[in-house]
Amino acid sequence: MSGRLEGRTAIITGAGRGLGRACATAFAAEGAALALVDIAADITEVPYHLASRSQLEHTASLCRERGVPVLALTADVRDTQDVTRVVADTVERFGAVDVLVNNAGIAGPSGRMVHEVGDEQWSVMMDVNLTAPWRMMRAVGPGMVERRRGSIVNIASTAGLVGYRHFAGYVASKHGLIGLTKAAALDYAPFRVRVNALCPGSIRDGGANEGRMLAEIGRSIGIDPADHEEAFVTQQPMNALVEADSVASAAVWLASDESVHATGSFITVDGGYSAR
C-alpha cells in the first residue's frame, strides 16, 4: 500500500462490478476508507441485469483484503432519500466524505433512432447518468465546502465528447455530465473542492471486475456477444480495448493531492479514439 489516499474516505457508486469494482480496489490499495454503493437490483427499463448484492459484497471483500474499512450500501441513486442516507451513513461511520466517484451508469435502453426513444427510456437514462451524479454532488458538497477540501470524479465517456448513432440518450447524458462537471468546478473552486471527469473508451468486459457494459452496448446494436470484442477493437487506434484498471488509476490520481490544481477538466482514457 503506497498510501496516496490514506486518511481519506471515498464514496464510489456503481461499485458492484466493472469499472466501479476496479476503482474500489484501486482506492483500497492506496489506503482509502470506502463507502461502496450499488442498487444491487435490476431496473425495469434497463434491458439487462445490473449488479447483484453478492457482487457488491464481493467488491467489499476484495477491498477489505487490502486492509481498509469498508461500508457496503445498497441504494438507488435516482432516489434523493437513498442518496441522503448514503452520505449520512458514510459520515457517521468515517466522519467525512473526501472523495466522490460518480460511476453508476447505464448503457441501455439504446440502439434506436432519436424518434424511436420513448419517454420512460429517455428519462431513466438521464436520471441514472446525469441527474444522479448531481444528486450525489448536492449531498456531499456542503461538507466539502465546509472543510475546504474534496475531490469529485465523474465517470463520463467518449460519448460525452462525440456522437454515436442510435445512442442519443446515452450521448446526451454523458455530454451533460461533462457540462455539469465544468459548472460545478467553477462553483466549488473558491473552496478548494475539485470536480473533474473521466472519459473512458471501450472497456474490456469480464475478468476479475466482471464487467459487461461493452457486451450490452454491442448487443443493443445487433453485435453477437461472442463477437463484441473483435468488433470494437477494430475501431481502436491502439488496436486494443481499454482496461478498467487504467481508468481506475486515473481516478486515483484525480482523487489524490497529485492533481491538486486539476479541476473542471476531462481526461480521456480511450486509446486515442476521440483524437481522430
Angstrom distance (rounded) from CA 211 to CA 16: 9
Angstrom distance (rounded) from CA 240 to CA 234: 8
Angstrom distance (rounded) from CA 185 to CA 275: 24
Is residue 81 within 8 A of residue 43, CB to CB? The reply is: no
Parallel, antiparallel or unpaired: strands 150-155 and 33-38: unpaired
Question: Which residues are catalytically annotated?
Answer: 170
Is residue 241 within 8 A of residue 203, CB to CB? The reply is: yes
Instruction: Give the closest residue to 104 by CA, choosing from 48, 156, 34.
Output: 156
Angstrom distance (rounded) from CA 160 to CA 178: 7
Instruction: Give the closest residue to 113 by CA, choosing from 162, 158, 164.
Output: 164
Instruction: Give the closest residue to 41 by CA, choosing from 50, 32, 33, 29.
Output: 50
3-state secondary structure 84-131: HHHHHHHHHHHCCCCEEEECCCCCCCCCCCHHHCCHHHHHHHHHHHHH
Q: Look up cell 460518480; give the residue.
A: 102
- Which run of H or of E encompasses 154? strand 150-155
